[in-house]
Amino acid sequence: MPYRNLCLVILLLLVPACRLLAQDNSPDAIVMPMDVRLRAHPVPTLSSETSFFIDPGTPVEIIGRTADRTWVQVRAADGEGWVVSEYIVVFIDLPPVPVTADSVGLDRGYALPPDVVEQVGAIYRRGQERGNRPNVFSKVGDSISESPHYLRPISRGLYNLGDFQYLQGVIDYFSAEIARDANSFGNTSIAAGTGWSSDAVISPEFADPSLCSAGETPLACEYRLVRPSLALIMFGTNDAGHFDPITYEYKLQQIIEFSIEQGVIPVLSTIPVRLGYEDKVARFNQVVVKNTTQYHIPLWDYGAAMTTLPNFGLDTDGVHPSIPAGGLKGAVDFRATNLYSGYVIRNLTALEMLDLVWKAMPVSR
Percent of the chain past pLDDT 90, that is, above it, reads: 62
Percent of the chain past pLDDT 70, that is, above it, reads: 84
**pLDDT value for 76:** 86
Least confident of 14-23, 147-156, 214-223, 228-237: 14-23
**325: CB partners within 8 A, 6+ apart:** none
Least confident of 32-36, 102-106, 168-172, 226-230: 102-106
**pLDDT value for 91:** 84
Examine the pLDDT at 47 and tell me if it is beyond 90: no
**pLDDT value for 214:** 96
**12: CB partners within 8 A, 6+ apart:** none
**pLDDT value for 98:** 86
Domains of the chain, first to last: 3-101 (2.30.30.40), 114-360 (3.40.50.1110)
- 120-129, 161-170, 354-363, range with greatest mean pLDDT: 120-129
**Residue bearing the bigger pLDDT, 102 or 255:** 255
**pLDDT value for 159:** 97
**pLDDT value for 103:** 53
CB 38 within 8 A of CB 53: yes
Examine the pLDDT at 119 and tell me if it is beyond 90: yes
**Segment 321-361, tens digit of pLDDT:** 999 999 999 999 999 889 989 999 999 999 999 999 999 99
CA distances from 149 to 146, 241, 323, 354 (A): 9, 24, 8, 17
Examine the pLDDT at 128 and tell me if it is beyond 50: yes
Least confident of 73-82, 286-295, 310-319, 331-340: 73-82
**pLDDT value for 65:** 83
pLDDT class of 310 with cuts at 50, 70, 90: confident
Average the pLDDT over 5-30 and give the result.
Answer: 48
Examine the pLDDT at 178 and tell me if it is beyond 90: no
Examine the pLDDT at 16 and tell me if it is beyond 50: no
Examine the pLDDT at 129 and tell me if it is beyond 80: yes
CA distances from 147 to 47, 74, 171, 189 (A): 28, 37, 19, 10
**pLDDT value for 18:** 42
Chain length of the chain: 365
Query: What value does the mean pLDDT of the chain take?
Result: 86
**∠ CA(281), CA(285), CA(290), 5° rounding?**
150
CB 164 within 8 A of CB 348: yes
Examine the pLDDT at 364 and tell me if it is beyond 80: no
> How crowded is residue 261: how many other Cβ atoms within 10 Å of its Cβ?
12
Examine the pLDDT at 133 and tell me if it is beyond 90: yes
Phi/psi for 188 (5° steps) reads -80, 120
Least confident of 156-160, 177-181, 259-263: 177-181
Average the pLDDT over 8-30 and give the result.
Answer: 49
Examine the pLDDT at 9 and tell me if it is beyond 60: no
**pLDDT value for 48:** 60
Rg from Cα positions in the chain: 21
Average the pLDDT over 184-192 and give the result.
Answer: 96
**Segment 61-100, tens digit of pLDDT:** 999 887 667 678 888 888 888 887 767 788 888 778 888 7
Stated as kind and residue range, the H or E segment containing 285 is helix 278-295
